[in-house]
Amino acid sequence: MTVKSQSKVTLRIGTRGSPLALMQTQMFELRLHSVLPGIKTQVVPIKTSGDWIPQQGDQPLPESEGGKALFAKEIQEALLRGQIDLAVHSMKDLEGKLPADLTIPCMLPREDARDAFLSNIAQNIDELPKGSVVGTASIRRQAFVLARRPDLKVVPLRGNVDTRIEKMNSKTVDATLLAVAGLNRLGKSQMIKTAVPIHEMVPCAGQGAVGIECRRGDAQLISVLSQINHDTTYACVACERAVLTTLGAGCRSPVGVHAELHGLKLRIRAQIAAPDGTGMFRDVEIGHLNGYDDLIRIGHEFGRKLKEKAPAGLFG
């Protein structure tokens, strides 16, 4: 795909069709038009396996073949086939290792990475009455809730943001947890009762970040995307993903990883537990950087330390 003649080119942008995914795609289009004012874009909604699996019930995705990659697989396949030119992803939906011919040269500024607690009967997890039902599609959130409150019942809760809020309002569940970033982007921040501090519930790698994926051979497009890349977000998410890669793509244990960069000082947190909340393990790494490569190195080293220090049996 060449972008030399902007007025004659239409960039096809692949994305999931959920309200949040379409909102994030609009955010990207605005930034793209800031560097290519004459470019034409076409949004191509693509239904992923993760979107149609809920029709079969509220089965948790980690028990389905492919795990969280189910929200990206069909979009990446369309990109590889040349049916689209770019893909917009929530970075938390991507596996640690991308297909060999694809790359992510651009990320948008990261939103609030914390998890949001939503409920009509309590202000936070600790205030929920014993036996309350918490709904979540995330095995990480399930594990961390049960580690804190083993007296609660956690059930699978699938669907987009509106669907989950509706099920809470209809008293199917007493509470749920969603990403603060998604609620903010959809203008639903008023639904948040508590934004859970990162040190209490470490987000999944990439939470709050939006990445733009393209083919490795599209050099001119990569050059354009690099102009709108948010360097700090890119660096921190790259570090988080390096941790995941070292832990192993086949790891089904609930893992939270979050990196923060302050100048040349990096703070990276990790939280791991078994799905039933047992074996909870936390660790923090402080690093001082000389350059971008240090982020990747520190991420891999931290991942190796986690495998050595965490309780046996947490990694599959």
The residues, any chain, with a CB within 8 Å of residue 273's CB and separated by 6 or more, are 143, 144, 147, 253, 254, 279, 280, 281, 314
Distance CA 132, CA 205 (A): 28
Catalytic residues: 93
Q: Where are the alpha helices (DSSP H) in the chain?
A: 19-35, 49-52, 73-80, 139-148, 161-169, 180-185, 219-226, 231-247, 292-309
* Dihedral class, residue 192 (left if φ above 0, else alpha if ψ from -120 to 50, else beta): beta
Count CB atoms within 10 A of the CB of residue 97. 11
CB 236 within 8 A of CB 110: yes
Please count the other Cβ atoms lying within 10 Å of the Cβ belonging to residue 312: 6
Q: In angstroms, rounded to a whole number, what is the distance separating the alpha carbons of residues 46 and 55?
A: 16
Q: H/E element holding 287? A: strand 281-288
CA–CA separation, 300 vs 13, rounded Å?
A: 32
